[in-house]
Amino acid sequence: MSRSLVKRVAPYLAGRIRENHRLLNFSSASALKEASSSSSSSQSESSSIDVVHLSDNCIRRMKELQSSEPEKKLLRLGVETGGCSGFQYVFELDNRTNPDDRVFEKNGVKLVVDNVSYDFVKGATVDYVEELIRAAFVVAENPAAVGGCSCKSSFMVKQ
């Protein structure tokens, strides 16, 4: 019975994987085009739709984490294929930036987003939530997303 289930589900999953790769490749190409047309990566972001915002809870939690570390950490936000909705957010604490990163700073806390992931999170708000079942950094609002799962760790992209 499990083999027949695999045969029925495999084409669907293969289609989803192809679609996710297509979307990532499209976003990657547009991110590279935007980076090459930009005169400076350190240029100040004037429009709020181009900025990735940090909530007060996110800033508070990052300052708590930084106070317990000898070296000041950065919050890194990335987007990967996967999750129950097609794409998922990945948060990491990092101590360095890469040449293709975009850095957003508020009250001494830095959020780092790589150029490919940036197209997926432009105008988004990063928050820190403490719930009964978990405490985590989440993307609370994302104008590029049309839906996602209830845990706010995965999303679908507007087309």
**What is d(CA 64, CA 59) in angstroms, rounded to the nearest whole number?**
9
pLDDT at 89: 86
Q: Give pairs for 137-140: CB < 8 Å, separation 24+.
A: 137/58, 137/61, 137/75, 137/77, 137/91, 138/89, 139/77, 139/89, 140/55
Taking 50 as the threshold, does the pLDDT of residue 44 lie above it? no
Q: Give pairs for 22-25: CB < 8 Å, separation 24+.
A: 23/86, 23/87, 23/157, 24/81, 24/116
pLDDT at 128: 94
* Per-residue model confidence as pLDDT tens digits over 141-156: 888 877 666 655 666 6
Show Cβ contacts of residue 99 under 8 Å, excluding neighbours closer than 6 positions. Answer: 41
Strand 74-81 and strand 154-157: the pairing is unpaired
Question: Does the reported pTM lie above 0.75?
Answer: no
* Per-residue model confidence as pLDDT tens digits over 76-126: 999 888 777 678 889 999 999 999 999 999 999 999 999 999 988 899 999
